[in-house]
Amino acid sequence: MADADGVCHFLDRTTNLCTQYENRPIFCNVDKFYERYYVDNMTREVFYKINQQECERLRKLLGV
Ligand code: SF4
């Protein structure tokens, strides 16, 4: 889904919003992803926390 610079081509670069938000891929939807793949393995709160930690790790790695 990424353009040559690594930015998702569904991102509106002017508004910084997803142009496909209501129909975005499941891996962009934390709740749907949790319900499909992790609901039997951990609580939603733990899943949110892991996602937050990974997001912060990637932001530091990418310097954003
Ligand atoms: S939410 Fe997903 S589909 Fe939308 S811009 Fe971000 S990466 Fe792309």
DSSP β-ladder status, 11-12 and 17-18: antiparallel
Report, in this order, helix, strand and coil percent for the chain, each rounded to 5.
55, 10, 40
- Ligand 1 center to residue 64 CA distance, Å? 16
Q: What is the pLDDT of residue 64?
A: 82
Q: Spell out which residues line ligand 1, taking CB within 6 angstroms.
A: 1, 8, 10-11, 18, 20, 24-25, 28
Per-residue pLDDT of 9-62, as tens digits, reads 999 999 999 999 999 999 999 999 999 999 999 999 999 999 999 999 999 998
Q: What is the pLDDT of residue 61?
A: 95
Q: What is the pLDDT of residue 1?
A: 83
**pTM for the whole thing?**
0.79
The CA distances from residue 23 to 4, 18, 29, 32, 33, in Å, are: 23, 10, 9, 12, 13
